[in-house]
């Protein structure tokens, strides 16, 4: 029994050698396949890395790349696509690729010339510093609403001019399309310019149709442009009913003449009744 077991447990030296050789070949083949696979994988990753490297370094036509470093001083952030600067150094205006101005979020071409805010369209100034006139692009003085061109020309006035005039409604002549300023006397402000105001000194009323004096100071005779304010020898200049050329010539009479000539109605009738044709003296 023991000899039988011993017989079966023995292996032929030739077969044993063959098995050992076969196992060694298998191990060698497996190692070769593994090394080849590793080499293939390494080559694949190497070629992929080169391809990605080419993609990451392919910039725009200006040579700017998303992976490139911002060109501002010591900034280490990446450039935005199509620009030479990072998002913190590129103008915030849409489609603008210029560098921001110092202390502003906008470039010199898009920032207000008076502050760091963005300028309004077609202007060099922001809403705070631009003239409030809808089509004006000029700067307005500090604390005012309008630029010098669109501010009333009256001294210290900051209101806008009236339509078609150089002065505001308070300081422009109220006579139709007249563009002149109103006349003032001391602290009194008139409604009309010197051309449309009464010619009597310190009078701010509008001239009549005759164009010289107002209705209050104009001769009551129709069409007469003379003033009824004249010196009659009784002291300071007085206001009469008519100018001295249309006032009765009788001494002490200041009634208007009523007939072609120089007498009022009363003295004209007295003159007719008088024995002589000379003028009455009383």
Residue ranges covered by each domain of the chain: 62-111
DSSP strand pairing (188-189 vs 229-230)? unpaired
DSSP-assigned beta bridge partners for residue 172: 181
Predicted confidence (pLDDT) at residue 28 exceeds the cutoff of 50: no
Predicted confidence (pLDDT) at residue 14 exceeds the cutoff of 50: no
Rounded Cα–Cα distance for residues 207 and 200 (Å): 10
Predicted confidence (pLDDT) at residue 253 exceeds the cutoff of 90: no
Predicted confidence (pLDDT) at residue 180 exceeds the cutoff of 70: yes
Predicted confidence (pLDDT) at residue 198 exceeds the cutoff of 60: yes
Predicted confidence (pLDDT) at residue 32 exceeds the cutoff of 50: no
List, in order, residues 6 or more apart from 264 with CB less than 8 Å away: 248, 250, 253, 255, 256, 257, 258
Residue 74's pLDDT band (cuts 50, 70, 90): confident
Stretch 7-12: mean pLDDT: 40
Q: What is the pLDDT of residue 199?
A: 87
Which one has a higher pLDDT value, 50 or 250?
250
Which has the minimum average pLDDT: 1-5, 63-67, 137-141, 236-240?
Answer: 1-5
Q: What is the pLDDT of residue 140?
A: 86
Q: What is the pLDDT of residue 266?
A: 80
8 Å CB contact between 136 and 129: no
Q: What is the pLDDT of residue 191?
A: 93
Rounded Cα–Cα distance for residues 256 and 146 (Å): 55
Predicted confidence (pLDDT) at residue 59 exceeds the cutoff of 60: no
Stretch 71-92: mean pLDDT: 91
For 128-146, write each residue's pLDDT tens digit: 888 888 788 888 888 788 8
Q: For a pLDDT cut of 90, what percent of the chain falls above it?
A: 18
Highest mean pLDDT among 18-27, 32-41, 253-262: 253-262
Which one has a higher pLDDT value, 277 or 216?
216
Q: What is the pLDDT of residue 23?
A: 42
Which one has a higher pLDDT value, 148 or 38?
148
8 Å CB contact between 214 and 223: no
* Nearest partner of 132 among 118, 149, 116, judged by Cα: 149
Residue 44's pLDDT band (cuts 50, 70, 90): very low
Which has the minimum average pLDDT: 51-60, 154-163, 220-229?
Answer: 51-60
Q: What is the pLDDT of residue 182?
A: 93
**Mean pLDDT over the full length of the chain:** 75
State the SS3 of the chain. Answer: CHHHHHHHHCCCHHHHHHHHHHHHHHHHHHHHHHHHHHHHHHHHHHHHHHHHHHHHCCCCCCCCCCCCECCCCCCCCECCCCCCCCCCCECCCCCCCCECCCCCCCCCCCECCCCCCECCCCCCCCCCCECCCCCCCCECCCCCCCCHHHCCCCCCCCCCCCCCCCCCCCCECCCCCCCCECCEECCEECCCCCCCECCCCCCCCECCCCCCCCCCCECCCCCCCCECEECCCCCCCEECCCCHHHECCCCCCCCECCCCCCCCHHHHHHHHHCCCCCCCCC
């Amino acid at each position: 029994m023991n000899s039988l077991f011993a017989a079966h447990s023995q292996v032929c030296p030739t077969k044993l050698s063959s098995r050992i050789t076969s196992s060694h070949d298998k191990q060698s083949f497996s190692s070769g396949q593994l090394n080849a696979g590793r080499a293939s994988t390494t080559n694949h990753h190497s070629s992929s890395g080169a391809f990605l490297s080419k993609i990451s370094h392919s910039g725009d036509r200006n040579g700017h790349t998303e992976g490139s470093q911002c060109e501002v001083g010591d900034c280490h952030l990446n450039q935005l696509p199509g620009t030479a600067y990072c998002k913190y150094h590129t103008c915030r205006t849409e489609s603008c690729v210029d560098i921001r101005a110092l202390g502003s979020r906008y470039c010199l071409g898009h920032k207000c010339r008076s502050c760091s805010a963005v300028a309004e369209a077609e202007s060099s100034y922001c809403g705070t510093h631009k003239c409030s006139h809808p089509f004006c692009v000029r700067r307005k003085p500090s604390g005012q609403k309008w630029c010098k061109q669109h501010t009333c020309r009256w001294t210290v006035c900051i209101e806008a001019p009236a339509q078609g005039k150089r002065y505001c409604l308070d300081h422009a002549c109220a006579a139709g399309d007249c563009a002149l300023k109103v006349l003032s006397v001391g602290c009194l402000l008139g409604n009309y310019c010197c051309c449309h105001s009464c010619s009597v000194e310190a009078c701010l009323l509008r001239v009549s149709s005759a164009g010289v004096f107002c209705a209050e100071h104009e001769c009551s005779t129709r069409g007469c442009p003379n003033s009824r304010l004249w010196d009659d020898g009784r002291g300071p200049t007085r206001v009469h009913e008519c100018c001295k050329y249309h006032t009765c010539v009788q001494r002490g009479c200041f009634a208007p003449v009523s007939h072609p000539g120089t007498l009022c109605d009363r003295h004209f009738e007295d003159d007719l009744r008088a024995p002589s044709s000379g003028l009455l003296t009383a």
